[in-house]
Structure 1
Amino acid sequence: MTTCRDEALRWVHRYAIGGAAFAALPLPISTSAGLVAIETHMMAMVGEIYGENVGSVVTTAAGGSFAILGQGLKFLATRAVGFVPVIGPAIKMGIAGLTIVAIGRGVVGHFERKYPGKIFEKP
């Protein structure tokens, strides 16, 4: 039997890998918007795992918060890349992945407080 927590954390790690790969793409535009979309979708997925439909207002509010957080982290990443340009993409990947894991763990923690130890039921 798999708990919702275990299943949700599996998905969080998948999203983190995807976000890190996305951050490594050499795009001429900022990757912040794409990462916000990944984080917002992850939040909705974790909610669905716990059997809760995350509403559009909550998703929009979270997306705005993620965008602000992403801009701050992008600034830090840009500064870090300036100091060590050779490993710059690895730094951006690390920041993106770790940020998604942190947000995901926070969302999972929220649902675990509401539904402690809930068993995951496949749809």
Structure 2
Amino acid sequence: MTTTCKEEARRWVHRYAIGGAAFAALPLPTSAGLAALQTHMFGMIGEIYGESVGNMASAAAGGSFSVMGQGLRFLAQRAVGFVPVIGPVIKAGIAAAAIESIGHGIIAHFERKYPGKMFTRG
């Protein structure tokens, strides 16, 4: 069975989103952990497309994800404050949606560089 890089990357984005949602549901500070998870996802998608994402690019992406995470955390905390019983579910949903959208943005970047590239397991 042949798979495109886009299909393989989407599978991984869904996995990262599920992991991020589970992590966000924990009663812990999550923005640094989610930023690390998103940075790792960036590297994983790069590897799927056959690119090694360098340390500088990873650091830049991690900083961007961290800043964005702070804003999303603020929104999630507000949501939790309004509905304390289902707040953690809302927080997990926000994290999953953010990771999905970031992942699809990263995939779109690589698809512009390598449209329709076939995935080879390596």
TM range (shorter): over 0.9
User: 1:1-123, aligned counterparts within 5 Å?
Assistant: 1-27=2-28, 30-123=29-122
| Equivalent-residue separation in structure 2 for 1:12 and 1:74 (angstroms) | 20
- 1:96 deviates by 0.5
- 1:119 deviates by 0.3
Identical columns (%) = 69
TM-score, normalised by the number of residues in structure 1: 0.97
Aligned length in residues: 121
SS at match of 1:85: coil
SS at match of 2:120: coil
Backbone CA RMSD of aligned residues: 0.5
**Deviation by residue 1:30-80 (Cα, 9 ceiling, x = unmatched):** 110100010000000000000000011010001000000000000011111
| Equivalent-residue separation in structure 2 for 1:8 and 1:73 (angstroms) | 24
- Structure 2: segments with no counterpart, 5+ residues: none
- Structure 1: segments with no counterpart, 5+ residues: none
| Equivalent-residue separation in structure 2 for 1:97 and 1:35 (angstroms) | 10
